[in-house]
Structure 1
Amino acid sequence: MITHQMEGVKKMVEEGRDCSEILIQLSAVRSAINSISRIVLQDHITHCVVDAVKNGDKKVLDDLNNAVAKFLK
């Protein structure tokens, strides 16, 4: 889905389409990425983090904090 959207943006640029149209499409791509990221994060917390904490693995929390920090850069 996102790859298809990015190909569409690339084609728009190559065709010399209006910058405002391109920006709108880029906004849609960013929204899709944010939605997928939210799903991955929720799943990770619900399953991986909960299981790791139950098993005494605190490293997973450090890993999650590092991943979130990099994602939000």
Structure 2
Amino acid sequence: MSEPHLHESHPQVVARLKRAQGHLRSVIEMIEAGKPCVDVAQQLHAVEKAVGQAKRTLIQDHVDHCLEDAVVAGGRDQRRSLDEFRAITKYL
């Protein structure tokens, strides 16, 4: 079994995602209650922004720490780092 892959930013990412989860729950309730579409769209936009910010924080942390550490180590780690960078950029 591999060790957990944790970063300093993970608690912040989790907090953002939990807020987004709460917003999303509210949006569902708004739709079910027949609230105006403009209000629903505004709240959906807030959910989208929260998730996007969580994703950016996670990716930036990965680039700043995991990839940088591997590049400094050199050798095979550099190839792995380049492959990881290519893989993660598709989510930007």
Q: Report the TM-score range of the alignment, normalised by the length of the smaller protein.
A: 0.7 to 0.9
Q: Distance in 2 between matches of 1:6 and 1:61?
A: 35
Cα separation, 1, equivalents of 2:48 and 2:22: 13
**Quick one: distance in 2 between partners of 1:43 and 1:67?**
12
Q: TM-score, normalised by structure 1?
A: 0.83
Residue 87 (structure 2) pairs with residue 66 (structure 1): yes
Percent of matched pairs sharing the same residue:
34
Q: Which structure is higher in RCO with an 8 Å CA cutoff and minimum separation 6?
A: 2
> Which is helix-richer, 1 or 2?
1
Q: How many residues align?
A: 71
Matched to 2:61, the amino acid is: D
RMSD: 1.4
Structure 2 unmatched ranges of 5 or more: 1-18
TM-score (norm 2): 0.68
